[in-house]
């Protein structure tokens, strides 16, 4: 059952934290995220409350449709949830993919 929990900040934080939890459990792609973001494994928990870090988690996951699908299937979310959550986080509406 897929659910879309709403579109506010609470929704965005929840989706982003679920995405971080999912990402941490992915042994193959977690090192890619750590390298791309410059984040040390020990920093993951302390940065989990930072909106800019949560944006980076969502940005990373939405780079690959397979990751979006796997995350959303695991979390029981609609496939649009990561982008919807990203847009609801501070700074998330400012996207430029040039």
Q: What is the pLDDT of residues 35-48, one digit of tens each?
A: 999 999 999 999 99
Q: How confident is the model over 68-84, as pLDDT tens digits?
A: 999 999 999 999 999 99
Q: Which helix (H) or strand (E) holds 64?
A: none
DSSP class of residue 89? S
Cα separation, 15 vs 31, whole angstroms = 21
């Amino acid at each position: 059952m897929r659910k879309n929990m709403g579109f506010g900040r609470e929704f965005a934080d929840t989706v982003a934290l679920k995405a971080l939890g999912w990402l941490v459990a992915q042994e193959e792609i977690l090192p890619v995220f750590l390298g791309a973001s410059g984040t040390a494994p020990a920093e993951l928990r302390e940065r989990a409350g930072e909106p800019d870090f949560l944006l980076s988690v969502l940005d990373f996951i939405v780079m690959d449709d397979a990751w979006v699908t796997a995350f959303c299937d695991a979390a029981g979310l609609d496939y649009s949830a990561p982008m919807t959550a990203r847009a609801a986080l501070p700074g998330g509406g400012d996207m430029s993919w040039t």
